[in-house]
Amino acid sequence: SYVLTQPPSVSVAPGKTAGITCGGDNIGTYSVHWYQQKPGQAPVLVVYDDSDRPSGIPERFSGSNSGNTATLTIARVEAGDEADYYCQVWDSSSVHSWVFGGGTRLTVL
């Protein structure tokens, strides 16, 4: 089955830019989606189809995807961005097609 690999943690100072990676074999050929989950809350979609933002998501959140790595970038990081972030793809070539990365804890210093 398809595997997505994320770093367990990323730390960033307020006002700086954070990058969270998601690695997978030829992930550039998939549509990658990103979710934010704050403690005690359900996940929220923040980027879909590699780089699109749902309505209501700040422009500070952006995504890219190429080769074997997808990246979620958060510009001008705020304390409220501290959360777990998960990448996810739909592998249409597989019966059990919906795969999540292991998640990355973003800490705002």
Tell me whether residue 79 or residue 95 sits nearer to another protein (CB atom): 95
Tell me whether residue 23 or residue 43 sits nearer to another protein (CB atom): 43
Residues touching another protein, count (CB under 8 A):
24
β-pairing verdict for 83-90 and 32-37: antiparallel
| Shortest separation between residue 16's beta carbon and another protein, angstroms | 26
Q: Where does this chain touch another protein (CB under 8 A) — which range of 18-26, 61-69, 74-82, 90-98?
A: 90-98
96 contacts 3 by C-beta, under 8 angstroms: no
Question: Distance of CA 3 to CAs 16, 90, 93, Å?
Answer: 30, 11, 14
